[in-house]
Structure 1
Amino acid sequence: MFSKACEYGIRASIFIATKSSKGIRVGIKDVAKEIDSPEPFTAKIMQILTKNGIIESSKGVGGGFEVSDNAVKSIKLIQIVDAIDGDTIYKGCGIGLKECSEIKPCPVHKEFKKVRELLLEMLTNTTLEQLASGVKTGDFFLRINDRE
């Protein structure tokens, strides 16, 4: 559903938020390892997230990535998705046509419109804090081997 970059961006944001809640900044190597992503690809994703104000970055000794307490409460999942993938996932055609509308619908338009609306609602109403809290409590996992 999401691009690989977006999936990694969501995972990275959640991981960084969980560490930030403990006052810990994380480096690119730790982020890449935690989200199981190649380091150069992770660095590009982190640049996008930083540029869009989702993640904060500081250089030097003790530097790394973090999310402020205020930001983690206000950042919505839609902001991460928009920053990396744009809005086509919840606005675009279900089968990828350039033009698809109520007037000229594609074969899946009617049903896919319902899916898009539900997805948009979830992305708009889910905060980074909600996702990070679930990981901290053990209700959610970022990696399969965390269950062991």
Structure 2
Amino acid sequence: MFSKACEYAIKACIFVAKSSMRNERVTPKQIADQINSPVAFTAKIMQDLVKSNLVASYRGAYGGFEIEQAKIAEISLSQIVEVIDGDKIYNGCGLGLDVCNENHPCPVHEQYKAIREDLKQLLKTTNLEQLAVGIETGDAFLKT
């Protein structure tokens, strides 16, 4: 459903949010270790998140990535998805057809349309704070 880059971005943002809630900055290597991602790929994804102002980056001995604590509850999963994958998840065909619409539907068009709407709602109403708290309490995990 999500691209691999988007999956890594979501997990990275959750980890950065959890760390930021503890007033800790994290490096690309720490993020990559926590989400089972290649370090170079993680660094590239993090730069995209920095450019979009979802994550802040600091250089130096105490540098790393963080999210302002006030912003953690304001950042929705939909914002992360849109930075990395755009809006194709909300518009794409369930079977991957190039042309799929009301006038030329694929066999699962109507069913997938409902799933897309539910997914859109889930992504818009779920924020990083909710997910980071689940990781912090041990109720959820970022890697196996």
Same fold (TM over 0.5): yes
TM-score, normalised on structure 1?
0.94
Distance 2:79 2:45 in 1: 14
State the match for 1:143 in structure 2. Answer: 143
In structure 2, C-alpha distance between the alignment counterparts of 1:17 and 1:87, rounded to whole Å: 23
- CA shift, 1:85, in A, is 0.8
Aligned pairs for 1:52-91 (under 5 A) are 52-91=52-91
User: Which residues in structure 2 correspond to 1:1-148 (within 5 Å)?
Assistant: 1-144=1-144
Aligned-pair identity (%): 53
What SS does the corresponding residue of 2:9 show, helix, strand or coil?
helix
Which amino acid in 1 is paired with 2:8?
Answer: Y
SS of alignment partner, residue 57 of structure 1: strand
| 5+ residue gaps, structure 1 | none
**Deviation by residue 1:68-114 (Cα, 9 ceiling, x = unmatched):** 11110100000011111111112111112222111221111011001
| AA matched with 2:14 | I
Structure 2: gaps spanning 5 or more residues: none
Structure-2-length-normalised TM-score: 0.96
Aligned residues: 144
Deviation beyond 3 Å, 4+ runs, structure 1: none
Give CA-to-partner distance per residue, 1:7-45, whole Å, 9 cap, x none: 110110000100100100001111111111111111111
Partner Cα distance (2:98, 2:54) in 1: 30
